[in-house]
Structure formats: C-alpha cells, structure tokens
Structure 1
Amino acid sequence: MRYCPTRLLSQIKHTAYAAGAALAIASTASATVPYGSLAGGLPGVGPGLAPPSIVPGKEYSHNLDHTITAVGTAPFFEQVVAWDGSGGVANGVNFVGERASYLTRSEVDAIANRGDYLFNQLKSERAHLVWSFDDTYHSILPGGGVAPGVLPPTGPVSLANGNTVGGAAELNYELGLWGGANAPETQGVWAKAAEINAMPTAGEFVDIDGVELWGPEPAFTADSDKYSLDIDMLTTGAGPGGGAVSVWNGGSGTPYASHATIAAAVVSLLGPVSGYLPSVNGAIDGIDAINLDALMVREVAGEMDDFGRDPTGGGNHDEIIFSIRQILDPSSSTGYYATGSELFVLDGAGSVSFLKHGGHAWDKAYALTTFGTQTPNGRFVLDVNAIEAVGQSVVPEPAAAALGFATLATAGAVRRRRREV
C-alpha cells in the first residue's frame, strides 16, 4: 500500500460523522422515527414501479456502519438497519463475531439474500434495477493528478443522459424495458433519504452502502444472509487456501465467494489490473485492488453456503450480480481501470458478462458516458454502491400462493432460501 489523497478525505469524513453522532447522543429530543411494519408479500412483476413504502423487508448498511439510537445513530461495526419506506428505522442483523477465520470487526460493504427475488427477471428486463451511488468519487485532474470528491447525501444529481437521480443517501431506479412498454434508460429517484431514514441530525446519514429488499416483516428479523466487508484483500488468510474472501455467509460466518473468483471474473472483462484502489490505509495496487462493492445472489446449486456449479452436471449454476469499487489508472486515457459502476453477472461455472438492463450494457463505456462529468477542473465518474431489484406491485402471500407464486415455508422465516417469482 502507498499514500493516496482518499486517506485524508476519509479521516475528515470519519471525524465529522463522529462529531455528528456525539451531538445526536447529547440531544434531549428524540430524533429517530420508530419502525412501522408493513404487510408482507411477494413481488408482482409488470412494467410499473412499486414505491418503497409498500415493498416489504427492506434493509440497508451505511458507511460508516451505524446503530439506531433513540436520538439518531452512532457508529457500530457490521450493523444492518431495517427501514420501512416512510422514514422509520430499527436495528437489524449484526455480523460481528460470526467469522471464525476472520474475527476482526469491519465495515459491511454489501448485503444480499441467498435467493434474491427478481434476479432472473432483472436480467430479462422484466424487473427494475435499484441502485445507489457511493458518497466518494475521484476526479482525474487536467495535469494527471487525482482529487477525491464527495457526493451529497441528497439530490438532485443530473446525469449526462438527461435523467435526474438522487444523492448518496438515496436509491435510484432504472425501469426494465418490458418488451417496449418502458423506454430505454428510464431512470430516477426510487427512495429519498427521508423515506429511508428520517432522522434529522445533519452528518449522520450520508450514503447507502448496501441494500436488501423483499424480506419478511418486520425487516429487523433480518433477511440479509450474504455480505461483503469493506476491503476484501484485508481478509487474506481467511479463505480457502489462505486466500481473501469477497462474500461471506451470514450466520455460519464461512466464506461464500473467494476474492480470487471475483478477481478472475473482473479481469476476464476489463483485462489485467493496471491502477490502484484508493484506501484509507493507502493505495492498494494490482489484483488486490479488486474489491466487491454491491451484490445480488441467486443460490440454487448444491450447498447454500458455497458458490459453485450445478452438482447434477446441468446448467443451473449459482449466480451473482456485483460491482467493484472504483479503481484509478493513471496509464489509461480514461483515468480509470474500473469506474465502479460496471455490473458483472457471474455464474458458478465461471461464465461472466456485463448486466444488460434498461436497453444497454452496464459496462465501463456506459459508466464513463452516463455517470461521468467533465469540468474545467477535471473529470469524474460516479461509483455504484448498492444494487437490488423491484417489481410493479406487492402480492400478499396467500394471494401469491393462489397465483402459483413461491411462498415461505414458515411464517416469519428468516435467512430463508427464496425462489423465483
């Protein structure tokens, strides 16, 4: 590792957040809106867009991870937060102490369920993509230098394609095409910051680092059972053969997907790694710079705690959709090895491609032209931070069963295997 300007920016961010949390704790007025449970249900598919206020089982992780208090939030490692879509929040699952091979407390960087609803529908343009942007990005300066920048928590944020989306503490959408019912690149704000966490203390809610939807209600019973930690390469020694881990199993605390697997997928599409990952501990070079950042999972083959091939020899392999953190590359004409907004689709047999959704590929070229901005002071590209999928409506579970939808094996089941709808 070597020094990079992100370290100073992160130190400033951490100090400001700690000060904001201390102010909230010292306050005598209750700031937190209590969580209000929703009716459970399954996603109904269609060209329309269900609002966050009706989608059940919503969770987020924050950077820094935080716990919900009576008067706001406070920093707390590996804490996931349930949100009701109307500003109410409550503490959900916490992963501290689960990993026998890596006991170090860390920051949760991505969350998912092993059977994320609408996974296949997202790939076939029959579901809508939900995503957030990281609050940190990096500008490539005219002279070739690099300067970190901060995306505000709330929008509006104007994209180069003419769409307007949200800030780093908000969730955006892109509609699936639905055979022409929706126009390509139909994008906007799905959930505003005040709908996710209505806590008003400034500086405490700055980004959505991971998101999970379609779990049981109340959402603090926990649906997230796959997760990634902040810097994958720091877990070196914890994975099979002494390697690093990119995705962990919630509950068992065992490795689900190795860093080597993720890195091989990225390199197959973007080429050998040239550049570095800005980090609070200094720049991380080469293959170690690949760091999983957003995640969806379709675990269908073999053991649910192992990412792999169809054990029957068929083609129904496990799959994930993921992004990685932005990697800077001074040797590239673009300034980036990866913008962080590429979305990779990888199966357990090693087949990898970019997600095609909204009438385009979520590849480097699209990210540069759509999420990039050229200014007199340089060029920057926004970095996708979390991903999920949403449908048109919510179908109550008894009605879903009558329509042939999948249902829960037991009411209120947590960390369950889910099936396609």
Structure 2
Amino acid sequence: MSETVQIEALGAKGDGIAPGPLYVPFALPGETVEVERRGARARPLRIVQPSAERREPPCPHFGACGGCDLQHASDELYRAFKRELVAEAFRRAGIKTEVAPLVPCAPGTRRRAVFTAVRAGPRVLLGFHQAQSHRIEDLKTCLVAVPAIEKALPLLRRLAATLIDRKRPLRLTVFAGPAGLDIAAEDAARLTHALRQSALTMALEAGLARLTVGGEVLVESRRPVVDLGGIVVEPPPGAFLQAVTGAEAQMATLVETHLEDAKAAADLFCGVGTFTLRLARHTAVHGVEGEAPALAALDKARRGAPGLKPVTSERRDLFRRPMTAKELARFDAVVFDPPRAGAEAQARELAASKVKRVAAVSCNPTTLARDAAILIEGGYALLSVTPIDQFLWSHHVEAVALFSR
C-alpha cells in the first residue's frame, strides 16, 4: 500500500528523511513523495511535489548504480549537504568550529576506480554495486571517471570475461596516468598458459601501460607513474592513490602551508608519499606505512628526485603499534591520512606528545571528528576544517583539519 510523505532533510547517505524517521532514496528536502514503506526505508513511487532544487540526473545509470547518490540535487544543495556532513560530525563530537565551504570536484576527473565483475548466466556484468544491493550495475558510461577510463569500459568488460573465476566476483582496480591505463585484477581465475596468453594479447592490443593479475605483472609496456607535485612516483599495482588529481593538490596545499616551517615532520599512513615527497622540498620527513610495496615506491622516487631534504621511511602497522609520544619527540610537525577507521590510537599518542603542528586528512568525517576531539583534549587548538570533494555525486567527502599547540 502506498502513502504520501513529506521530506524534511537529507540523511548522511543522501536519502531523504520523512517523519518516523523514514528513509526515502532520491528524495530531496521539501518534496512530497508517494512511497511504498519497507520498514524504516521506503521505495519512491512518484514525486508529487518536487523541490526547486531538483535537477535532471545526467547519467542514464542514476537510480540503479550505487556509485552516485545525488545527481538529482542542485549544485548548491549538494555542496551544502557535503559541508554539513563534516560540520555535523564535529558537532556530535562536541567540537564547536567553523567549517569552510566545500572545495568542489568536476565531472570526468576521477583517475582511479575499482570495478567489480560478476557472471550473470552467459554474460559478464562490470560496474559498481547497485544501491542497497549486492547486484552489479552493468555500466555503459561513467560520468565521474576521466575519459580514458570511461572509454575503456568495453575493454574492461572483455578483460573481465577472460579473467573471471566461475565462483567469485572479479575486482579490477584501474588507474589512468600519464603512461596510460594501469589495471590490477584480483580474485581472478587460475592463470593457465592459455588464459595468460589471452590476457597478455588483449593488453598489448589495447596498449595498456600495465596489466597485473593476482600480483603477477603480465604486461608492462610502459612504467605507470603518478606526479606528486612535480615528483614522479612509480606506484605498485593496485596502489592506493587519491582519486582526483585536483582534490589531491588541494589537500597537499593545505598540509604543506600548515607545516612549511617545520624542521622535521612525520607522515603517518604515508602510502607512496603523497604528502611525504611534497613536504621534503623544504622539510626533513619520516614516512611511516604498513605496505612494503608503497614504501619501496616512495624510496625509489626519493632517490630519483634531486634537491629534497632527507627522507626516511619505516614499515609499521600504526593501528597495532602507533608511534609513541616519546618517538614523536624528534618531530615538530605530523600529518596523518588513515583509512576510514581513523587513527584513534595514534591520535592519543599525538595528544600526549609535544608536536607543535598536526594536519589530519580523512575520508570519514565521523572518525576525523573523534580523533580531533582527542587532540583537542590533549591541548591542541583546532585552526580550520576544510571539506574537499573527490567522490562526485556521492555521500563520501574528504576533509583536512589543522591543529597547533
């Protein structure tokens, strides 16, 4: 049975919220919507009274593909929503602070994407998970990806059909860099000689820079590289890289400016050196990371870049063994950029340290606010919080928070 509800707000994942609360996908504040209730969620049937902020979604997959939540919202509403996600997280953590306007992200700029492929009878579907589902939306286009990735969707589908295992989904991590496409396949079928040759031929004919399957490099026609502020890094297959070049540059500028006077800095969860190498142009830096291939890439880039201040590195699981306050005593600045779980244990050690300046980068406002509260309780002043968009039309948002004592 259907009913009509009034949408009062947007939820943290972009759903419209009606009294109850009742969560209605693809509905906007102020709208009257006819829905079919399913517990705390509802299926929208018809927009009875649309919001003035409603826009025509530009992508034909919108509403099915779970990659985008808010293509139907105006730019103004969308940007205010993302800024409010960060502001609300800090309010809930008991922190009073002004949050800067969202740094926007343009369509067609996402240079790294992770696709999933599954079997559907005789077909292979390739794309992202559908909203609230384990099913895969078979993508014909992707408006957030850079043109090189969007144009390669038919190739990725053919490659997936070649490599996919009979019993499990295949994951393809795709990076579009200056050398071309770098593709890393995980959970593929066992590589027989015939399968290896087929994938190799396909990669060569497509002109891929590199194709890696289950950690084995099948083809490397050109060495994939990423430019980190003028310093060239050769990332390992499937490496974590910031998704959008412009967003990375904005984050790096905030971090560099805040830490530019430091004599010695630590970059925690440093990856391939996104902040380490930039900071090393004017500061001695110690990078700490749990993944050995990422550290190897950082070290090689450091050795090939003239004029840098000393750069050292350390392999360490910072979740299990955070740098202690005593170990941090030799640094006057720290930047940390952890996964979504945040860096609670490391924040507690920082709070007990005498480090003067801290820059916290996060893809999760909730854990960022939690870690910020720990630093503030330890005597740090929160100077600024800047939300940065690099997952366009989704409910995900990056943020950079700057602290000093």
| TM-score of the aligned structures, taking structure 1 as reference length | 0.22
Instruction: Identify the structure with bigger relative contact order (alpha carbons < 8 Å, sequence gap 6+).
Output: 1
Larger radius of gyration: 2
Greater share of helix residues, 1 or 2? Answer: 2
